[in-house]
Amino acid sequence: MKKLVFATNNAHKLSEVRSILAPHYEIISLAELNCFDDIPETAATLQGNALLKAEYIYKKFGVDCFADDTGLEVEALHGEPGVYSARYAGPANNAQANMQKLLQELGQNENRKACFRTVITLILGGEQFYFEGRINGRIATQPTGTAGFGYDPIFIPDGYLQSFAELGTEEKNKISHRALAVIKLTEYLQKNTEN
């Protein structure tokens, strides 16, 4: 089985991606690589942050790897929180505080349209490749559900009545922004790395 390093310290993301790529690739975490560095995410775009993380690992360890950055973009908030989604309410990366701030900023606004976007940067043999996944939906008026993480309890994908947190991991992994980006990554890897 081929090995790929996923440049993340987020256990939820790691678990999601492993379940999607499971039969094809062994995904190595940063901890398994003995990398406990705080990799900077200082770019102004999702693609920029994904590239920063992947380049950091590739340059330091010389291994094929990929990294992602994900943002929730709310139409009525002019695309916020976007690239700042994880630290919207401050540097603590507190999901509850982030959701509370978002709901407060949105208030009673009737335009609840939003989308989740994930950009993956893959570095394979020194070359960079990008894959994007996007899912449209709306922001609920209050959190519901206990599965998932981040903004999942307040994001209702188009075509559904339940939040990501109510749908559960298996269903979310079929339709989510990250799943769509990972599927594109998988298809690319299967076409271009099979011997």
Catalogue the active-site residues.
69
Other beta carbons less than 10 A from residue 153's beta carbon: 22
Q: Residue 11 carries which DSSP code?
A: H
β-bridge partners, 117: 71, 134
Distances from the Cα of 143 to the Cα of 10, 87, 98, 164, angstroms: 21, 18, 12, 10
By DSSP bridging, strand 127-139 and strand 155-157 are antiparallel
